[in-house]
Structure 1
Amino acid sequence: MTDDYILLMSAAPISEMTDRARDVFRMVVEGYLDSGLPVGSRTISKLPGISLSPASIRNVMQDLEELGLLSHPHTSAGRVPTEGGLRLFVDGMMQAAAPTAEERAAIEARLERGGPIEEAISAATAVLSGLSACAGIVLVPKREPVLRQFGFVPLSPDQALAVMVGSDGSVENRVVDLPPGISPAALGEAGNYVSARLSGLTLPDALARLATEIRDGEAALDQVSQELVARGLAVWSRDGAQRPVLIVRGQANLLDRDAAADLERVRQLLDELEGKEEIARLLDSATAGKGMKIFIGSENKLFALSGSSVIAAPYRGGDGKVVGVVGVIGPTRLNYARVVPMVDFTAQALSRLMA
């Protein structure tokens, strides 16, 4: 990506607008995105390069309102862009600059820390959230953990903590119910069996291997220990289908200085962020394309009530195939010119990490 680029024009009304209308429309949108407030004709008349009177500007604004590109809040003499106006601006008029060297360094630094890849992805999403002042979101690839070590820690006569260490160094714990009559020594033997015989396998493969060895009489475990191992592995196997694939970071950024004037919208957006399954489906739709996807307000029914925007870009694995999506969610009054390239850069950085 070059230092500066212009998103391609894709909306016919731009070519049908006069130079005067395009200038006024652009200034209204940029003023609104900067302040969050309606932009009046007098404000525009004072901007450099404008030689129109407030009355002339009002006439142009009225024409733009009739085209459905601006709206006129009843409490103000100024105008704000409609969702259709924002779409026209983002697709056809916005000039965007690449992230600064400092922003690129902040994102890349989080990806270079090592550790489980999910942690690196989550950390990069948190940085993206902070830089964009939005909530950062990432759809991570569905990955079955690979066993390296497994053990049981007794908690009570009836329960134990199953501890799984993955091949990537991740450690996960689950509480399992113990079969009646199992001894502490048997807990140790069961854990050693899994670590020795099933290491290097995914959970489904480990369960299949266990079933095969029990069937063929090759499992060096008594029946109670066999049941315990099966229970321990099954905890993660059941959990795998429900394993969260969507990470959301920085929801607090949505409570910015302008939120007090629109608390209901923010509350609605925070509620929507709780519905991770629906947002995951929305992001999954972005994997079908090759590039950036921008959803503005009610263009997607999921955010019709909160009037929010989503900017998302796919990232790829070593084989070049799309494995996930990264992006941000925030109010429609986003600094699109700054955030769009930032999301694009983060997606490229994640692709390099996954290669």
Structure 2
Amino acid sequence: MVVPPITELNDRARDIFRVVVDAYLATGGPIGSKTIAQRAGLNLSPASIRGVMQELEERGLLASPHASAGRMPSERGLRLFVDGMMQVAEPSVEERAAIEARASGGGPVEEALAATTAALSGLSACAGLVLVPKREVRLRQIGFVPLSATQALAVLVSEDGSVENRVLAIPEGLGGSALTEAGNFLSATVSGLTLSDARHRLERELSDSRAALDGAARALVERGLAVWSEDGERRPVLIVRGQGRLIDAAATADLERVRSLLDDLEGKQEIASLLDSARAGDATRIFIGAENKLFALSGSSVIARPFRGVDGRVVGVVGVIGPTRLNYARVVPMVDFTAATLARFMGVQGNT
């Protein structure tokens, strides 16, 4: 999408365009020439304002949702505003303190990230997002618990005390002794290893026929390997907080758009891919509406920024998602500050 530079607009067009954008960001709706003439103090007649608005519409910067409903910025116009006209408002002392308190609240890293994302969601009135790599914990023990004749639960206990479960399909009639044997073998073989290292060791043990397992237990271990291989290739962890904030008074007038947006959030793989595209570079990325095909129907915007760990490498991406009428001037610096806070937090974690 090619957006004309702001310098192509004369002062009158720029002033009227800003009034239309400000009204849209405040109300989510269009504004008419008569209202602009009454409120904006531009010393222009409604007819003159209509002429300028028509010119802006022809440039693709404004749109009219209905024949006589006034004008609102198009996605192209919002891009022009964000890139060339927006004057940011830095987070207040209270907002900064709220974000920093959540990041340094203690507990596991994932809990701190989730809490910080929730704080960002509350302050921005958007849904908060954070994307981080899946942690490579070291295993302590693996066991199997029968669930039914055809399913078993693989329980992975890590050295840090965390527990993860996987549901495995097992051959019908597999006895409890095979579950016990497979669990004992796995615990003895993979203790102290990461999941990826454990997978490689088990593959070697099985291929070299060094595993002293009967046929049933061996089959169970191989099924576990298949599931864990998928886990090792999984996308990074995506944390979403504050989806309910997307359903506000203005949104109720466009429930289909909100429903589409919530469906987009359920498709976490696509959201994760979008955020992952913001990892390159240090700048904040702003995706407006159909600029990304994921939001072509919901008409949503995403503001995202990467944050780095103690070694300077990108650790993750934090951001928000909301309607295209979100308060960019306020939310962009808030996302920037949250990214900087998480970078400091990850630096502290890396030194502990």
When normalised by structure 2's length, the TM-score is 0.84
The aligned residue for residue 190 of structure 2 is 198
Contact 2:3 2:76 in 1 (8 A): no
Output the CA distance in 1 between the equivalents of 2:51 and 2:154: 71
2:84 equivalent to 1:92: yes
Output the CA distance in 1 between the equivalents of 2:303 and 2:287: 7
Output the CA distance in 1 between the equivalents of 2:314 and 2:337: 15
2:43 equivalent to 1:51: yes
What is the CA deviation profile of residues 280-306 of structure 1, one whole-angstrom value per residue up to 9, with x for unaligned ones? 222222122321111111222221222
Question: Secondary structure in 1 aligned to 2:39?
Answer: coil
When normalised by structure 1's length, the TM-score is 0.83
Pick the aligned partner of 1:293 from 276, 285, 298: 285
Output the CA distance in 1 between the equivalents of 2:186 and 2:96: 43
Pick the aligned partner of 1:341 from 303, 322, 333: 333
AA in 2 matched with 1:52: L
Question: Secondary structure in 1 aligned to 2:227?
Answer: helix
The aligned residue for residue 350 of structure 2 is none
AA in 1 matched with 2:22: E
Deviation of the 1:48 alpha carbon: 6.0
Output the CA distance in 2 between the equivalents of 1:160 and 1:302: 37
Output the CA distance in 2 between the equivalents of 1:119 and 1:152: 27
Deviation of the 1:182 alpha carbon: 5.2
The aligned residue for residue 164 of structure 2 is 172
The residue correspondences of 1:110-129 to structure 2 (distance < 5 A) are 110-129=102-121
2:117 equivalent to 1:134: no
Of stretches 253-262 and 175-184 in structure 1, the one that deviates more from structure 2 is 175-184
The aligned residue for residue 95 of structure 2 is 103
AA in 2 matched with 1:116: P
The aligned residue for residue 4 of structure 1 is none
What is the CA deviation profile of residues 111-163 of structure 1, one whole-angstrom value per residue up to 9, with x for unaligned ones? 22333323332332232222222222222214434213333445567754322
Contact 2:89 2:329 in 1 (8 A): yes
The aligned residue for residue 274 of structure 1 is 266
Output the CA distance in 2 between the equivalents of 1:240 and 1:191: 20
Output the CA distance in 1 between the equivalents of 2:169 and 2:288: 48
2:318 equivalent to 1:326: yes
Of stretches 175-184 and 124-133 in structure 1, the one that deviates more from structure 2 is 175-184
Contact 2:235 2:269 in 1 (8 A): no
Deviation of the 1:99 alpha carbon: 1.7
Task: Percent identity, please.
Answer: 69
The residue correspondences of 1:198-277 to structure 2 (distance < 5 A) are 198-212=190-204, 228-229=220-221, 231-232=223-224, 234-242=226-234, 245-277=237-269
C-alpha change, 1:59 and 1:151, in structure 2 (3 Å) is: same
Output the CA distance in 1 between the equivalents of 2:67 and 2:208: 79
The residue correspondences of 1:74-89 to structure 2 (distance < 5 A) are 74-89=66-81
AA in 2 matched with 1:249: R
Output the CA distance in 2 between the equivalents of 1:71 and 1:236: 51
Deviation of the 1:232 alpha carbon: 4.4
Of stretches 136-145 and 307-316 in structure 1, the one that deviates more from structure 2 is 136-145
The aligned residue for residue 155 of structure 2 is 163
Output the CA distance in 1 between the equivalents of 2:260 and 2:64: 24
AA in 1 matched with 2:275: L
Deviation of the 1:215 alpha carbon: 7.2
Output the CA distance in 2 between the equivalents of 1:274 and 1:211: 34
Pick the aligned partner of 2:58 from 54, 66, 71: 66
Output the CA distance in 2 between the equivalents of 1:168 and 1:116: 10
C-alpha change, 1:11 and 1:136, in structure 2 (3 Å) is: same
2:13 equivalent to 1:21: yes
What is the CA deviation profile of residues 164-199 of structure 1, one whole-angstrom value per residue up to 9, with x for unaligned ones? 123444311123456867556x76676566455533
What is the CA deviation profile of residues 45-72 of structure 1, one whole-angstrom value per residue up to 9, with x for unaligned ones? 3336533333333333233223222223
Contact 2:196 2:232 in 1 (8 A): no
AA in 1 matched with 2:343: S
Deviation of the 1:234 alpha carbon: 4.8
Of stretches 80-89 and 306-315 in structure 1, the one that deviates more from structure 2 is 306-315
C-alpha change, 1:305 and 1:13, in structure 2 (3 Å) is: same
Output the CA distance in 1 between the equivalents of 2:106 and 2:58: 55
Deviation of the 1:328 alpha carbon: 1.6
2:309 equivalent to 1:317: yes
- Structure 1 unaligned spans of 5+: 1-9
Output the CA distance in 1 between the equivalents of 2:54 and 2:316: 43
AA in 2 matched with 1:200: G
Question: Secondary structure in 1 aligned to 2:88?
Answer: strand
Contact 2:139 2:194 in 1 (8 A): yes
Output the CA distance in 1 between the equivalents of 2:293 and 2:82: 20
Output the CA distance in 1 between the equivalents of 2:174 and 2:32: 79
C-alpha change, 1:239 and 1:54, in structure 2 (3 Å) is: same
Contact 1:144 1:240 in 2 (8 A): no
AA in 1 matched with 2:198: A
